Structure 1
Amino acid sequence: MADTLLLRALKAKPKSLNLCNKSLEKVPKIIGKIDSVLHLQLRNNKLTDLPNELGHLYQLQHLNVGNNSLTTLPEVLAELPLLQILHAFNNAISSIAPSVISELNHLTVLNLNGNKLKTLPPEICRLVNLQNLSLDNNVLAELPVELCALTKLEEFHAASNQLTMLPLEFGFLVNLEKLHLQKNKIRELPESLSKCFKLRVLDIAANELRIFPTELSALPLKELYFEENPLLEHIPVHSVQEEEILALKELAARFVMRELKDRWSYLRKMIKHYPQIREMLGQASKCAVCGESFLNTWLECVRFIDSKEELKVKNLNGLIPIRALLCSYKCFNAPGHKYYGVAFP
């Protein structure tokens, strides 16, 4: 039946070809002769591979192989230089060959929902034009840092996986608008998330979050979902802490960072000759109370913001715990601020 359909198509030279729901175990090799096809639908069959002849479809832009029995992305995909949209959802894909992913640099949409992926290859960074990546319902335990090189990515879905964290460099995804991470095991969001200046939708529901990143309120969020997380509660208990003695390295770093604020400082002129020190000081934090810089995370606190007033997110009401970093117990004990120490049960 499929052969007959393809023979007819060979004469018609179609732009689109639909072979869905044909119970195909193999795609007939004659498909390689229909090189006019731009959109190919192979959804809802029994395919375990794709024929080499598919590589003759040089103009193919849109391929749907969802709901089949693929265990990996077929090697022939590397021979489709113009492929822009690839749907391979609901297969049994457990691995992605670097040789395949490296050649799909025109891809804008990649849908791998409902597979058995445990990892992504570092070569994911080769998908330089990717705008939409969907990895829902896999078994991913981590994401490679190379994912953060996809600077054109606008929408990322990784719900219902086994993720416990995101790469620290996540903020490099500067064009990200929608982030869906519900039903994972994420305990903490990276501070760099605040650099995703276009993020409008964040779904982090049903994870293991206790607190949000420091600059969450800097994001232009329109929707935020965080139900079913063990967030810190606003139950203030009075506490005064005694000042501790700082390490020599910390004292020196704080002195240097204060000096660097003075444009005429001798240290400011000399620091350019010490790139390692500049890199180290570049990781410094700023105290939420006094505004001074410090090197190591010294005292982690929490402040509670009104989700509707400060975030201006319409779908929320109530207080949200936001991380705050303080440089000393002197600042912690200072009157008038609304930063609280974190107490664990």
Structure 2
Amino acid sequence: MAERLLLRALRAGPATRSLALTARGLRHLPRSLGNMKALEGLSLRNNHLRRLPQEMEALSRLKVLNLGNNDFEEVPEQLKYLVSLQKLHLFGNKITRISPLIFDGLQNLVLLNLNNNQLSHLPPEIHRLEHLECVSLDNNKLKNIPKELCFLQKLCELRLSHNSILALPEEIKYLTKLKILILSRNKIEELPDGLCKLKRLKVLDVAGNNIQIFPTGMEELELEELYCEDNPLLERIPVSAVQEEDILTLKELTARFIFTQLENENIYLHRALKKNSQAQNILSHKHKCAQCGCAFLGMWLECVHFVDVKQRMKTSRNLDLLPIRALLCSYKCFNHRGHGLFGIAVP
């Protein structure tokens, strides 16, 4: 049947640009498919395909390929020869692995859809697909994403819902063009500070995770939509607490002294630090007190303040106040009146 359809398309002329063989019960493809070198769009979804003929490597003009809802167990390596391919749909297969060799080609790929597969790992070589704008990996078995994914400079949309992701890499801050980030129904407990560097982010969905509090710079994001229902978010419930004495380590005292001197533009200290990379690395992990504004090294006192975001964006229905982390350098700052900060109760 498929052979007859191909012959009919070939008779229509060698310049045939589009071919649909959807839901034809196909288990294999005829080699003559490789003769249709003018093809730009090919739909093979809803069949029973497990592999592609080697002759498909000749389809150098193909821009859109839909292999959704088939029986592929891995991404076919022949795809790396499709140099013009821009959109690749592989949703609804049985894919458990992606060969890194795939990323040697596909340099013009803009959209990659691998929803509803069984992927537990993404090769770090994915960063070679430097023109990717949309990556969708919903309903897989991913526990993490490689930091290399965060080097896709043109990525605008990233969908990772219904996986088993535990954490995001801090390098997510490099996805500077990201507008949509979908992370719902994972196992994320904490979002990285780097997320707050995504100035173009408009939609963030973290519903159904294990998040209690959002990172410090969350207020700086100009979100239009935020979804975070079904998370154990901290609530604004006052509790009594025992305050400990402020006893700083020698390392902390030294770091705070250096930060103060740098603020006062101590030129000799600046010169000394330039020659000491180890000290630079240690001091690069500084925090800023939400009350007094002074820099400090260790997370001395973790607090939370609650922000009403309903007026600014579309949010989850049951979200009244968004808990956002705030760090204080001492109990002196914590006891200052009027800051609106709450200590985090440890059960």
- Scaled to the shorter chain, the TM-score interval is over 0.9
Q: Mind listing any 5+ residue stretches in structure 2 that lack a counterpart?
A: none
- Residue pairs, 1:7-156, within 5 angstroms: 7-11=7-11, 12=13, 13-156=15-158
TM-score, normalization by structure 1: 0.96
How far does the alpha carbon of each residue in 1:19-62 deviate from its partner, in whole angstroms, 9 at most, with x for none?
Answer: 11111111111011100001111111100011110000011111
**Contact preservation (8 Å) 1:142, 1:165:** yes
Structure 1 stretches of 4+ with a deviation exceeding 4 A read: none
Aligned equivalents of 1:102 and 1:211: distance in 2?
A: 40
Aligned equivalents of 1:53 and 1:276: distance in 2?
A: 56
Task: Determine the structure 2 residue equivalent to 1:202.
Answer: 204
**3-state SS, counterpart of residue 173 of structure 2:** helix
**3-state SS, counterpart of residue 171 of structure 2:** helix
Over 3 Å counting, the alpha-carbon distance change for 1:103 and 1:124 in structure 2 is same
**3-state SS, counterpart of residue 133 of structure 1:** strand
**3-state SS, counterpart of residue 156 of structure 1:** strand
Deviation of 1:93 after TM superposition, in Å, equals 0.3
Q: Which residue identity does 2:6 align to in structure 1?
A: L
Aligned equivalents of 1:280 and 1:9: distance in 2?
A: 66
Task: Determine the structure 1 residue equivalent to 2:191.
Answer: 189
**3-state SS, counterpart of residue 153 of structure 1:** coil
Aligned equivalents of 1:283 and 1:28: distance in 2?
A: 59
Aligned equivalents of 1:332 and 1:7: distance in 2?
A: 78
Task: Determine the structure 2 residue equivalent to 1:257.
Answer: 259
**Contact preservation (8 Å) 2:127, 2:152:** yes
**3-state SS, counterpart of residue 194 of structure 2:** helix
Deviation of 1:279 after TM superposition, in Å, equals 2.7
Q: Over the residues paired in the alignment, what is the CA RMSD in angstroms? A: 1.4
Which region of structure 1 is more displaced relative to structure 2, 255-264 or 175-184? 255-264
Aligned equivalents of 2:109 and 2:264: distance in 1?
A: 49
Which region of structure 1 is more displaced relative to structure 2, 273-282 or 58-67? 273-282
**3-state SS, counterpart of residue 282 of structure 2:** helix
Task: Determine the structure 2 residue equivalent to 1:296.
Answer: 298
**3-state SS, counterpart of residue 216 of structure 2:** coil
Deviation of 1:334 after TM superposition, in Å, equals 2.1
Aligned equivalents of 1:117 and 1:343: distance in 2?
A: 38
**Pairs aligned (count):** 343
Aligned equivalents of 1:102 and 1:119: distance in 2?
A: 18
**Contact preservation (8 Å) 2:239, 2:345:** no
Which region of structure 1 is more displaced relative to structure 2, 25-34 or 256-265? 256-265
Equivalent pairs: percent with the same residue? 49
Task: Determine the structure 1 residue equivalent to 2:3.
Answer: 3
Aligned equivalents of 1:68 and 1:106: distance in 2?
A: 24
**Contact preservation (8 Å) 1:27, 1:50:** yes
Deviation of 1:238 after TM superposition, in Å, equals 4.4
TM-score, normalization by structure 2: 0.95
- Residue pairs, 1:230-309, within 5 angstroms: 230-239=232-241, 241-309=243-311
Aligned equivalents of 2:51 and 2:252: distance in 1?
A: 58
Aligned equivalents of 2:112 and 2:186: distance in 1?
A: 21
How far does the alpha carbon of each residue in 1:119-147 deviate from its partner, in whole angstroms, 9 at most, with x for none?
Answer: 10111111111110000000111111111
Task: Determine the structure 1 residue equivalent to 2:345.
Answer: 343
